[in-house]
Amino acid sequence: MLEQTYYDKADEIIESHGAKAASLIPIIQDIQTEYRYLPPELLSYVAGKLEISEAKAYSVATFYENFSFEPKGKYIIKVCDGTACHVRKSIPILERLYTELGLSKEKATTDDMMFTLETVSCLGACGLAPVLTVNDKVYPAMTPDAAAELVRELRGA
Ligand code: FES
């Protein structure tokens, strides 16, 4: 069960975009920005408010990969494993971060909800490879040591 404040926030966001079916994507994007994920309860709630079926809202949200139904950490680290980054050794960076954060392919978010670690196929910054991002800030020419240091800095922040 979500707290009432989540529904109040959703109402505010719905109001800012207008309660119409065409506003579904901007509304759920704003909800995801607010909470760093899209709580399934709020997706159902928004569908009701916009008078569209839950199934329809769900299929829209699952069609776009960047919607997540799982809570994510305060810092979302994305390690690029596109071709340019891969050949410049992105995997050792990823492995070092898994070790540093106690995460794995199966467990993407730390228990303290500080970090989520993901891979992406290309961040569009191949000239800066290997690249990772933290909450969309780009860190170029990374190394395993630099990535570990970055995590330590963020922990202290
Ligand atoms: S392959 Fe990593 S930014 Fe393009």
* Domain shared by 59 and 79, yes or no: no
Question: Per residue in 119-130, pLDDT tens?
Answer: 999 999 999 999
How crowded is the C-beta side of 74, counted as CA atoms within 13 Å?
A: 9
Number of structural domains found in the chain: 2
Shortest-distance atom of ligand 1 to CA 128 = 3
Model pTM?
0.79
Which of 90, 120, 126 is the pocket-test mutation for ligand 1 (most atoms within 8 Å of CB)? 126
* Domain shared by 91 and 42, yes or no: no
Question: Per residue in 131-141, pLDDT tens?
Answer: 999 998 999 99
Expressed as residue numbers, the domain containing 103 is 75-156
The reported pLDDT for the residue numbered 64 is 82
* Domain shared by 82 and 150, yes or no: yes
* Domain shared by 80 and 150, yes or no: yes
Question: Per residue in 26-35, pLDDT tens?
Answer: 999 999 999 9
Cβ atoms of 147 and 132 within 8 Å: the answer is yes
Q: How far apart are CA 65 and CA 50, in angstroms?
A: 22
* Domain shared by 100 and 140, yes or no: yes
